[in-house]
Chains A and B, each alone.
Chain A
Amino acid sequence: MNFASMTPVAIFTLLNVAMALGLYITALSGQLSMATAAIAGVGGYLAAVLTVKFGWPLLPAVCLAAIAGGLVGATLALITLKMRDFILKLTTLAFGEALSVLAFNWDYIGGANSFTGIGLKTNVWTAAAAALIAFYVAWRFDGSRLGFACRAVRDDPLAASAMGVSIAATRTVSFALGGALVGQAGAIQAHYVLVVSPHDLGFFVSLNFIIFLLFGGLQTLWGPILGAALLTILPEALRFTNEYRLILYGLIIVLVVLRRPEGLLTRMPLGSELKVLGFTLRPARPLADTPADRRLRPLPTPLVQPAKIAAQ
Chain B
Amino acid sequence: MTALLQVKALAVSYGVVPAVDGVSLEIKPGELRVILGANGAGKTTIIKTLFGLLRARAGEISFNEEIDLLRLKPHQIHALGVAWVPEGRQLWNTLSVMDNLRLGGFGMKDKALLERRIEGMLERFPRLRERHNQIAGSLSGGEQQMVAIARALISAPRLVLMDEPSLGLAPLMVREVFDLVREINAMGIAILMVEQNARQALKVAHWAYLLETGRIVESGPAAEIASKESVQAVFLGGHA
Contact = CB atoms under 8 A, between A and B. Distances in A.
Q: Counting chain A CB atoms within 10 Å of each CB, which of B13, B229, B233 scores highest?
A: B233
Interface stretch (B111-119, B164-172, B210-218): B210-218
B238 interface: yes
A301 B233 CA distance: 18
Interface in B2-60: 13, 15-16, 18, 21
A161 interface: no
B138 interface: no
A309 B230 CA distance: 9
Contact of A306 (B15, B16, B21, B233): B233
Nearest to A272: B16
Interface in B202-240: 212-215, 229-234, 238
Given A306-B233, A309-B234, A299 B16 contact: no
Contact of B233 (A269, A295, A310): A310
Interface in A248-271: 269-271
Given A299-B213, A300-B213, A306 B234 contact: yes
Given A300-B213, A310-B238, A271 B21 contact: no
B33 to A, nearest CB: 21
Nearest to B235: A306
A304 to B, nearest CB: 9
A296 interface: yes
Contacts of B16: 269-272, 295-296
A307 B16 CA distance: 31
A302 interface: yes
Contact of A302 (B213, B229, B231, B233): B213
B214 A310 contact: no
Q: Is the interface of B mostly helix, strand, loop or mixed?
A: mixed
A307 B13 contact: no
A310 B239 CA distance: 10
Nearest to B22: A299
B189 to A, nearest CB: 33
A135 B15 CA distance: 32
B18 A306 contact: no
Contacts of A269: 15-16
Contacts of A306: 229-231, 233-234
Interface string A268-312: 011110000000000000000000000111111110001101100
Contacts of A300: 213
Contact of B212 (A270, A272, A302, A310): A302
Contacts of B233: 306-307, 309-310
Nearest to A306: B230
Given A296-B16, A299-B18, A299-B21, A310 B213 contact: no
Contacts of B232: 310
B229 A307 contact: yes
Which of A295, A302, A306, A307 has the most chain B CB atoms inside 10 A of its CB?
A306
A309 B212 CA distance: 16
B107 to A, nearest CB: 32
A296 B14 CA distance: 11
A51 B229 CA distance: 83
A296 B230 contact: no
A302 B211 CA distance: 11
Nearest to B21: A299
Interface in B161-206: none
A156 to B, nearest CB: 14
A306 B18 CA distance: 23
A72 B13 CA distance: 43
Nearest to A301: B213
Nearest to A308: B233
Contacts of B215: 299
B18 A310 contact: no
A308 B160 CA distance: 36
A99 to B, nearest CB: 37
Contacts of B212: 302
A310 B230 CA distance: 7
Interface in B116-157: none
Nearest to B13: A296
19 contacts: A269-B15, A269-B16, A295-B16, A296-B13, A299-B213, A299-B215, A302-B212, A302-B213, A306-B229, A306-B230, A306-B231, A306-B233, A307-B229, A309-B233, A309-B234, A310-B229, A310-B232, A310-B233, A310-B238
Given A269-B15, A306-B230, A306-B233, 16 more contacts: A269-B16, A295-B16, A296-B13, A296-B18, A297-B18, A298-B21, A299-B21, A299-B213, A300-B213, A301-B213, A302-B212, A306-B229, A306-B231, A307-B229, A310-B229, A310-B238
